Structure 1
Amino acid sequence: MSASTPESKPASSPALPRALPRIAAVTGAGSGIGRATAIALARNGFTVALIGRRLEPLLDTQEAIGLTGGEAQPFTADVTDADSVEHAFAQIAQRFGRLDVLFNNAGRNAGAVPLEDYELDLWNDVVATNLTGVFLCARAAYRQMKAQSPQGGRIINNGSISAHSPRPNTIAYTATKHAVTGITRSIALEGRAHNIACGQIDIGNAATPLTERMNKGVLQADGRLAPEARMDVEHVANAVVHMATLPPEANILDMTIMATTMPFVGRG
């Protein structure tokens, strides 16, 4: 009787690498567009780093994300302060190991102030948040995206339709939003070599507490006070998610999303 041949075993397949979790950071994540976008990103599979000046609103956003089954972590920072920004992004790198998307959203308005009455302190405050803050957060994210492995990521800057056409008596806000467009294009150019894409979303009249006044009337180019249409902030959040989830070889450089009947095309 011949000796039995041992049963051959199939060669084991190499283990597939686990997909890396997608990490997104959102500035101004405690309210309005930032909160809505952070929730939408988490709903679409991102782990979200929530950045803002005050912890309590960030915790509210974190709780809302947790109710959807998503994951988020708050990081307090003042976007106008370089050390504060660097500390927050260092914490994000330490906590998550990488950063795939930054939604550079934090900003401020200043109401309608005629040029001859515009105080330098107010100008400096608006520039510090809307321009310097965008630069500081973009710089910190860019450094992380360039250094990490795999290299690359995506920065999405919150511009405004005021980056194209001003409202009356808003010189600082308008100037900073025009400048954000320059930041976006500079990063889009310099990021090519490091697989870092950069785009801008220009938003008109998203329904948030900051735009409640539009229901009563805001100053128009012809001097009238008139109410303006607003749109659900969820439409903005979903648009940012679309930009954030594009494959690396595609980028939306500029997107304008606005309430359909607001006075922007042919404004005034």
Structure 2
Amino acid sequence: MKTAVVTGASSGIGRAVALRLMDEGWTVGLLARRRDALVELAEGRSALVLPCDVTDPDAVEAAFDRFAAETGRLDFLFNNAGIFTPAAPPDEIPVADWLASVSVNLTGMFLCARAAFGLMRRQNPQGGRIVNNGSVSADRPRPGAASYTATKHGVTGLTKQLALDGRTFDIAAGQIDVGNAETEMVAHLKARAREAGEPAPPTMDVSHVAEAVLAMAELPLSANTLFQTIMATKMPLVGRG
């Protein structure tokens, strides 16, 4: 039995990845704040519902301990939970939005990685894999997104550190940077573009992201995709812009 925890599993990329893993026979811990959405997702599938706020250290530890107690081990964490606060110039970003972004996108990701790392380090056989959802904003900013961009750059540093510190314990760590998959978050960006009279950004189906994460998850621990970017082909990510 292959086991995984997916954070932010109630919607968007997290939901798509969780479904793809379960379709391939993985037992998946579904972790997010919205219990009802997780219960609906888990129905009839090999899944464990783990309602949890990733910013709460005690809740995160309890959720991962419960998963390990139920399944016996943790092979894979897709560390995905995140938020995108309203866009604004840096001086107009409410401090509360900055603090919320750091709390969810960076501290929450660390807390989940920390819990998974501990389980993978102690289990027998030792080891496992952690994949962080970095976003293309981990490399290049979009206008008005200081909070999101800064936290996602922080995720890149966390990924590198996990990959380095995991070597001793057969724990592989990598990052997938996703650009404009069709999710609720990107729907808001498209709506904002329409309101501004701008063309909608190019997008791709979220199923492609799920396939990419599955490919990373199913590598043997002797191999690792350290960084991967998957994006809509016509996104203006590269070039002089």
Asked if Structure 1 and Structure 2 have the same fold, meaning a TM-score greater than 0.5 normalized by the shorter chain, the answer is yes
Q: How big is the shift at 1:103?
A: 0.2
SS in 2 for 1:73: strand
Match of 1:142 in 2: 117
Deviations 1:25-44 (A, max 9, x none): 00010111101100100111
Distance (Å, rounded) in 1 between the aligned partners of 2:225 and 2:5? 18
For residues 37 and 74 of structure 1, do their structure 2 counterparts lie closer, same or farther at Cα, with a shift above 3 Å needed? same
Q: Larger RCO: Structure 1 or Structure 2 (Cα < 8 Å, ≥ 6 residues apart)?
A: 2
Structure with bigger gyration radius: 1
Q: Does 1:228 align with 2:201?
A: yes
For the 8 Å contact 1:188–1:197, the answer to whether it is kept is yes
Runs of 5+ in structure 2 lacking a partner? none
Task: State which of 249, 254, 260 in structure 1 corresponds to 2:222.
Answer: 249
Q: How big is the shift at 1:217?
A: 5.2
SS in 2 for 1:123: helix
Q: How many residues align?
A: 240
Q: How big is the shift at 1:226?
A: 3.0
Distance (Å, rounded) in 2 between the aligned partners of 1:49 and 1:213? 28
Deviations 1:136-193 (A, max 9, x none): 0000000000000000000000001001110011001000000000000000000000
Q: Does 1:59 align with 2:39?
A: yes
For the 8 Å contact 1:205–1:259, the answer to whether it is kept is yes
Task: State which of 46, 71, 90 in structure 1 corresponds to 2:46.
Answer: 71
SS in 1 for 2:10: coil
TM-score, normalised to structure 2's length? 0.96
For residues 255 and 264 of structure 1, do their structure 2 counterparts lie closer, same or farther at Cα, with a shift above 3 Å needed? same
Deviations 1:185-237 (A, max 9, x none): 00000000000000000000000122113444539xxx983311110000000
Runs of 5+ in structure 1 lacking a partner? 1-20
Match of 1:42 in 2: 22
Greater helix share, structure number: 2
For residues 224 and 253 of structure 1, do their structure 2 counterparts lie closer, same or farther at Cα, with a shift above 3 Å needed? farther
Distance (Å, rounded) in 2 between the aligned partners of 1:215 and 1:81? 32
Match of 2:180 in 1: 205
Match of 2:233 in 1: 260
Q: How big is the shift at 1:267?
A: 6.3
Distance (Å, rounded) in 2 between the aligned partners of 1:103 and 1:216? 28
For the 8 Å contact 1:215–1:229, the answer to whether it is kept is no
Distance (Å, rounded) in 2 between the aligned partners of 1:90 and 1:216? 40
Q: How big is the shift at 1:113?
A: 1.2
TM-score, normalised to structure 1's length? 0.86
For the 8 Å contact 1:216–1:226, the answer to whether it is kept is no
Deviations 1:226-258 (A, max 9, x none): 311110000000100000000110000000000
The alignment-based identity, stated in percent, is: 52
For residues 217 and 22 of structure 1, do their structure 2 counterparts lie closer, same or farther at Cα, with a shift above 3 Å needed? same
Matching residue's letter, 2:71: F
Deviations 1:44-98 (A, max 9, x none): 12100000111001112112xx3xxx41110111000101101101111111110
